[in-house]
Amino acid sequence: MKDKGLHLAIFIALCCAFFATAGRAENLAIRNCTWCHGGAARGYTPAPQLAGQRPQYLEKQLADFHARTRDNPFARQYMWGAARNLDAQSVRNLAIYFASLPPRAANDGVPNLVALGRTIYQEGMPDSNIVACVVCHGPNAEGVREIPRLGGLDYSYLKRRLEQWTEGYHAAAGPPMISIASKLSDDQIEALASYLSFVK
Amino acid sequence: MRALNSLQTIQIKRVSRASLLAGALTLAFIGGVRAEHRIELSGGVQAKISYCTDCHGPAAQGYRGYFPIPRLAGQQPEYLENQLRAFIEHRRTNNIMFNVAHSLSSGMLSALAGHFAALNPPPIGGAPRQLVGTGRKIFEDGMPDINIAACAACHGPNATGSGQIPRLAGQLYPYMIKTLSNWDKERGRNPTVPDTSAIMSPVAHSLNKSQIEAVAAFVSTLR
């Protein structure tokens, strides 16, 4: 009986020590990021879902917030401060941590726009010179490498980001998105944002 | 409301019909002008080039999206035109490129092919360097033991191609692998219209996975 109690106490102490060190990125995130991005990093308007986002994309965004190259209004207002004291290793740890969390679709788009959004995403609109997003962002809008997951992000965030490509802000991404987004009409942007908000 | 006499009823009907007609004509005019503008926009070569480069890269150097998007820069114009026609005629199966190509006019096809042929950005690279040596050997000497001719024999010593034979220099590593590995699944798919893609079929079959990767790595480094 005494031995069992001692063994149990040692076991619990070891577990605490393990989780204390392994969970350092988790603690940092809980303290600083979930305040806006939600406890499970699933987003809380206007902060987008980070759970299940591509780690390379997250890393690049954090680095760009730190360097102040990405300058859309909410980046300027919130993320520049949030990323100010992050070093490269913390950026990497946070990116890996959030990427590992399970995403959940926001499901808050406009339902009767989903069909048009799906068509634009999967097939493009050749007569309007609009490319099919699927080629870069993937069949389930999950992204790859530095190309972000779009699937499951909330409607208002997707709509705002699509609009911002042509509003003159500097983004982390390269040339194509400005050119692509400049060909989208307001209706098409709303359709895409709606479709994507439902994609798991 | 007092009852209308028959004359007033006829007058109201006339006015209603006239304004309906005017309204319809106005809408048709606006719609027509818009449609005309859109045709001009989508028919213009510059607009089409912007559409192509959205995926294929600003200098058509290719891009590693979720799917690898090939380099078009410096490609043989005859090959480019042939591939665009192949998508349209379902000789080459690719849903995205069918959508892209099927509404392009003949004039547009040659304009695009000519434009991309003249571009010359550096290759985007990224292939594993340790494979390049083996790839060079296969490319320059072939594999006589299994009856595979040197790639250089047709594609040229610098892999720049000629006529219908494509340039491979600077092509994307993952795209080359995908193409060689899936040759028959994607090319020569219309049995009623046999095409030159049949030439590559035995080569693609004979190469194993590591040989494909080696050749792909080698050509992806060439300028």
Residue with more model confidence, A119 or B12: A119
Give every residue of chain A whose pLDDT is below 70, as ranges: 1-2, 13-26, 29-30, 174
Residues forming a β-bridge with A108: none
pLDDT of A75 reads 96
Residue A12 C-alpha from the chain's centroid: 35
On chain B, the residues whose CB falls within 8 A of the CB of A134 are: 66, 96
pLDDT at B187 (0 to 100)? 95
Using an 8 Å Cβ cutoff, are A49 and A115 in contact? no
pLDDT of residue B15: 53
Does residue A28 lie within any of the structural domains? yes
Contacts of A177 (CB under 8 A, 6+ apart): A165, A171
Contact B66 A131 (CB under 8 A): no
Given a cut of 50, whether residue B29 has pLDDT beyond it is no
| Residue A126 with chain B: CB contacts under 8 Å | 51, 99-100, 102-103
A106, part of any domain:
no
Rounded CA gap, B218 and B135, in Å?
5
pLDDT, residue B14, reads 57
pLDDT at B194: 86
Q: What CATH number is given to the structural domain containing A142?
A: 1.10.760.10
CA A80, A83, A85, A88 dihedral sign is negative
Residue of higher predicted confidence among A36 and B20: A36
Whether A87 is covered by a domain: the verdict is yes
Query: Hunting for tokens 């340790």 — which residue is that?
Result: B130
Question: Residue B197 — pLDDT band, cuts 50, 70, 90?
Answer: very high
Residue A87 sits in the same domain as residue A125: no
Question: How big is chain A by its Cα radius of gyration, in Å?
Answer: 20
Q: Domain ends where: A100, A120, A140?
A: A100
- As a whole number of Å, the end-to-end CA separation of chain B is 85
| Tokens found for residue B34 | 């818009």
Q: Do A84 and A142 share a structural domain?
A: no
Q: Provide the pLDDT for residue B32.
A: 42
Q: What integer best gives the mean pLDDT of chain B? A: 87
Q: What is the pLDDT of residues B65-122, one digit of tens each?
A: 999 999 999 999 999 999 999 999 999 999 999 999 998 999 999 999 999 999 999 9
Location of structure tokens 């809380």: A44
- Whether B58 and chain A come into contact, CB under 8 Å, resolves to yes
Identify residues of A whose CB sits under 8 angstroms from chain B CBs: 123-124, 126-132, 134-139, 143-145, 147, 175-176, 179-180, 183
Structural domain harbouring A31: 2-100
* CA–CA separation, B54 and A183 (whole Å): 11
Whether complex ipTM tops 0.90: no
CA A73-A76-A77 angle, to 5 degrees, is 85
* % pLDDT > 90, chain B: 76
In-domain check, residue A64: yes
Per the DSSP assignment, residues forming a β-bridge with B64 are B68
pLDDT given for residue B30 in this prediction: 44
List chain A residues with CB under 8 Å of B38.
127-128
Q: Given this model, what pLDDT does residue A21 score?
A: 52
Specify the range with the lowest mean pLDDT, choosing from A86-90, B28-32, B118-122, B157-161: B28-32
Q: Is the pLDDT of residue B10 over 60?
A: no
Q: Tally the domains of chain A.
A: 2
Q: Note whether A136 contacts B66, CB cutoff 8 Å.
A: yes
- Whether A144 is covered by a domain: the verdict is yes
Residue A105 covered by a domain: no
Q: How confident is the model at residue B22 (pLDDT cuts 50, 70, 90)?
A: low
pLDDT tops 50 at residue B218: yes
**Tell me, what's the pLDDT at B18?**
55
pLDDT value at residue B191: 87
Q: What local confidence, expressed as pLDDT, does residue B6 receive?
A: 59
CATH level 3 topology of B45-221 = Cytochrome Bc1 Complex; Chain D, domain 2 (1.10.760)
pLDDT score at B42? 45
Q: Where are the alpha helices (DSSP H) in chain B?
A: 6-43, 45-56, 77-88, 95-101, 106-117, 132-141, 151-155, 173-181, 183-186, 201-206, 209-221
Residues A122 and A84 in one domain: no
pTM, whole model, 2 decimals? 0.83
Report the pLDDT averaged over residues B150-159. 97
- Rg (Cα) of chain B, in Å, rounded? 27
Residues A82 and A40 in one domain: yes
Q: Where are the domains of chain B?
A: 45-221
Residues A116 and A171 in one domain: yes
Please list, in sequence order, all residues whose beta carbon lies within 8 angstroms of the beta carbon of residue B129, skipping any fewer than 6 positions away: B217
B28 touches chain A (CB under 8 A): no
d(CA B51, CA B46): 9
Q: Which of A46, A78, A100 is the last residue of a domain?
A: A100
Q: Which of B218, B174, B147, B222 is nearest to B70 (CA)?
A: B174
CB atoms within 10 A of CB A74: 15
Helices H, strands E: what count in chain A? 12, 0
Q: What are the residues whose beta carbons fall under 8 Å from the beta carbon of B123, sequence distance 6 or more?
A: B61, B71, B169, B170, B171, B220, B221, B222, B223
Residue B178: helix, strand or coil by DSSP? helix
